[in-house]
A and B are shown apart, each in its own frame.
Chain A
Amino acid sequence: MSANIEIAGVSKIYDGGVRAVDAIAMDIRPGEFFSLLGPSGCGKTTTLRMIAGFDSPSAGEIRLDGADITHVPAHKRDMAMVFQNYALFPHRTVAENVAFGLRMRKIDKATIATKVKAALAMVELSGMEDRKPAQLSGGQQQRVALARAIVISPRVLLCDEPLGALDKKLRQQMQFELKQLQKALGLTLVFVTHDQEEALAMSDRIAVMNAGRVEQIGTPVEIYDQPRTCFVADFIGDTNIFRGQRVTMDHGIGIAAGNGLLLALPDNIAAAGSEVLSVALRPEKIAVAPADPVEARSKGMSTRGTVESTNFLGGAVLYRLVLDSGHRVLVQQPNSGAPLHPPGQAVALGWRPADLVILED
């Protein structure tokens, strides 16, 4: 039932020359929870609208299970969309809203009634059949929108920031429910969000978009641990980025990040091309210890710095440090119960070369 979507070299140029989407390519697999993640205005909604058939691409092709649907009108695509603002029919009751797609499919009344009842039960809205959308809370409206989309058993479900308007608690609950539902029905789901935590938590794969282009496609772990570009490293989570000349060190190569800061690169990427490189280092991959020479040396912590600020987050501690070379770095340590390093304290830092990720520009 679920389908595969191929987006091949698709661009969208709006009247007036805005290049909203620029030659993107992605292959969304059957039954996959696929997220489009990126900052506001990067072309997520435009991409989704082209998949749904509301906008036609200026170039490229969209295929559904191998068949070219680039010019198939929206009402013949058999996809269901949950709109950013829900787009519930205000003059129809909850039950009528959910029944709409089934009525368009000329299904008999008795079957419609059964399916509507089941769909509303699934989103826990039983008993609200006769209300109008205006008489529902934001979260309930969102669930009606979801029920209206899934009740037609679409081949593809498209969601445009469907959880954007909800408070944190309801949002987490709905994230969980949506994921469960998608799994249970085996739906191919394209999910638009600008919330990286949401994307990481829910997706099978993520396409990170920036300014109309796809920066990287990968699983949440790949996106987080192996960001390919500076943009991805910076956009997903917190990160420290160092930039400098490639230099040959005692064992292999490294980066001279300036002011005497030398970073050893992992051995396996000796072939890294250009002369000037950027590397990313996640805050939680850095170890911090008091700058006691003996202790630090024994752990191989050769970089020195000073604590600038200490933020206790509960499960973790976030430090802002200034290295002796002048670089500012962010370090996150699990709360192990050890005493915190107060601001002003001199510390030693260490990390494994393998945790450095070389970025494309």
Chain B
Amino acid sequence: MPATSAPRVNSLALLILPSALLFALFFFLPIGLMAVMSVLTGNPVVMPNVGFTTKHYARMGNDSYYLEVIWTTIRIGLWTTLAALVIGYPLAHWMARIRSRTGHALLLMAVLAPMLTGIVVRTFAWMTLLSDKGVINQILTSFGLITKPLQLMYNETGIIIGLVHIYVPFMVLTLTGVIGRIDERLEQAAENLGASPWRAFMEVTLPLSLPGILAGSLLVFALAISAYVTPILLGGFQIMTLPILIYQQISANFNVGFAAALGMVLLAISLILVIAYNHMLGLVSGQRGLQ
């Protein structure tokens, strides 16, 4: 047996090799470099004698400003995820259960259409809606509902609105796949046993779509905390997030080491989430019940 299976393993390895190399070159190498840079005193390309240091991480820990930035980033990520889930779930459920083909096609178009426009264009569109003299404030003022314009932009609310709009499709598409695979007859069985439609949803559909909720949330959160354009334009530099800070450190302060350390923090947040996700999924689909 081993004699016959050995060549097969080799040919498989050969097939995987190109993509493995590509992955190593463009994924692990940059991250590895970033990790190394984050613990060096300077840039080894321009400075010949650099040494090991933890000062970049210490700086983050000692200055509450940086902790505040990290927390703001996470907070924006959480609110964006929550909003995308609340908006996306009903839409995904509708899409997964709709009978008519045309209806499904129209919904899919509606979800995907915004993705066909660039993020910058869409963000500017939001600015015309949300600014002090924007569409929303103008309408509310003309109806006499407000006297002073609402502060919808240049704060976290604006950023979250913009991010939710951009990332809802990711949530919807992830959820639609999962909900679509839940047998409708399970809900009917629940109703048949006396559960109201709402109860059947809570007892059957929602728990069974938990893997999709987790995956969609993870995706949206990771994208939201690493977003750059939307937080800049809709935050107007009033709100500082990790990606903006990293960019500043590189382009204005030339502090590559500190930027790398900030990048590592961003990566760590995402990694912790992926691990937590896997753990949760294990609990959900494993031996233990959901109650």
Residue ranges of A at the interface with B (Cβ–Cβ < 8 Å):
15, 52-54, 73-75, 77-81, 83, 85, 87-93, 96, 100-101, 104-105, 132, 148-149, 152
Asked if B199 and A104 sit within 8 Å, CB to CB, the answer is: yes
* Residues of B269-291 whose CB lies within 8 A of A: 284, 287, 289-291
Q: Which residues of A contact B115 (CB under 8 A)?
A: none
Closest to B285 in A: A91
From B86-94, B183-191, B234-242, B255-263, the one touching the partner chain is B183-191
How many CB-defined contacts (below 8 Å) exist between A and B?
Answer: 73
Asked if B186 and A87 sit within 8 Å, CB to CB, the answer is: yes
Q: Is B197 among interface residues, defined by CB-CB distance under 8 A? A: yes
B contacts with A: majority SS: helix
Question: Which residue of A15, A73, A91, A101 is within 8 Å of B193 (Cβ)?
Answer: A101
Closest to B194 in A: A104
Q: Given A75-B196, A101-B194, A104-B195, is A15 in contact with B189 using a C-beta cutoff of 8 Å?
A: no
Q: How far is the CA of A67 from the CA of B183 in the complex (A)?
A: 32
Question: Which residue of B185, B191, B196, B203 is within 8 Å of A83 (Cβ)?
Answer: B185
Q: How far is the CA of A315 from the CA of B177 in the complex (A)?
A: 55
Q: How far is the CA of A54 from the CA of B200 in the complex (A)?
A: 14
Asked if B194 and A105 sit within 8 Å, CB to CB, the answer is: yes
Q: How far is the CA of A78 from the CA of B200 in the complex (A)?
A: 15
Between-chain CB contacts (< 8 Å), 30 pairs: A54-B188, A73-B191, A73-B197, A74-B191, A74-B192, A75-B191, A75-B192, A75-B194, A75-B195, A75-B200, A79-B192, A80-B192, A83-B185, A83-B188, A83-B189, A85-B185, A87-B189, A89-B186, A89-B189, A89-B203, A89-B204, A90-B208, A91-B208, A91-B290, A92-B289, A92-B290, A93-B289, A96-B291, A104-B190, A105-B194
Asked if A87 and B188 sit within 8 Å, CB to CB, the answer is: yes
Q: Is B99 among interface residues, defined by CB-CB distance under 8 A? A: yes
Question: Which residue of A15, A92, A105, A132 is within 8 Å of B99 (Cβ)?
Answer: A15
Q: Is B207 among interface residues, defined by CB-CB distance under 8 A? A: yes
Q: How far is the CA of A101 from the CA of B204 in the complex (A)?
A: 13
Closest to B204 in A: A89
Q: How far is the CA of A152 from the CA of B193 in the complex (A)?
A: 8
Q: Which residues of A contact B196 (CB under 8 A)?
A: 75
Q: Given A104-B194, A148-B193, is A74 in contact with B188 using a C-beta cutoff of 8 Å?
A: yes
Shortest Cβ distance from residue B196 to the other chain A in the assembled complex, whole angstroms: 6
Shortest Cβ distance from residue B257 to the other chain A in the assembled complex, whole angstroms: 48
Closest 6 CB pairs of A and B: A101-B193, A104-B194, A87-B189, A75-B191, A87-B185, A74-B191
**Known pairs A91-B290, A132-B287. 5 more at Cβ < 8 A?**
A79-B192, A87-B189, A88-B189, A93-B289, A104-B193
Q: Which residues of B contact A92 (CB under 8 A)?
A: 289-290
Q: Which residues of B contact A53 (CB under 8 A)?
A: 191-192
Q: How far is the CA of A152 from the CA of B186 in the complex (A)?
A: 17
